[in-house]
Amino acid sequence: MTPDAIRESVRRVLHSIAPEADLDSVGPGADLRAELDLDSMDFLRFITGLHAELGVEVPEADYRKLGTLDGCVSYLEAHAPAASSP
């Protein structure tokens, strides 16, 4: 999966959680929790949503690596299942 496709997935999941937010205004290195006003329940939904979209199960200890858009993309790229898997 390309980084662009991953970024698109991340944005899609974020949009479903914070539909009123303007994701274009969120910088690639900006703190997602702060920018989008995500509480721990929202963030858990984000993690669950990424799992549903990309099949990546993020352990709790790695949550902090997904704090920014860029962080999400590099983490998910490294952990995404091989393209052949369903």
Residue 63 CB, shortest distance to another protein, in Å, is 10
Residue from 4, 60, 83, 84 touching another protein (CB under 8 A): that is 60
**Residue among 6, 32, 47, 76 that touches another protein (CB under 8 A):** 47
The answer to the question of residue 18 lying near another protein (CB under 8 A) is yes
Amino acid at 44: L
Give the Cα-Cα-Cα angle 33, 38, 42 (nearest 5 degrees): 125
Nearest-angstrom CA–CA distance, 33 and 30: 9
The only residue of 2, 22, 25, 40 in contact with another protein, by rule CB under 8 A: 40
Q: Residue 17: how many CB atoms within 10 A of its CB?
A: 17
Euclidean distance between CA atoms 30 and 34, whole angstroms: 8
Residue 85 makes contact with another protein by CB under 8 A: no
Q: What residues make contact with another protein under the rule CB under 8 A?
A: 18-20, 37, 39-41, 44-45, 47-48, 51, 57-60
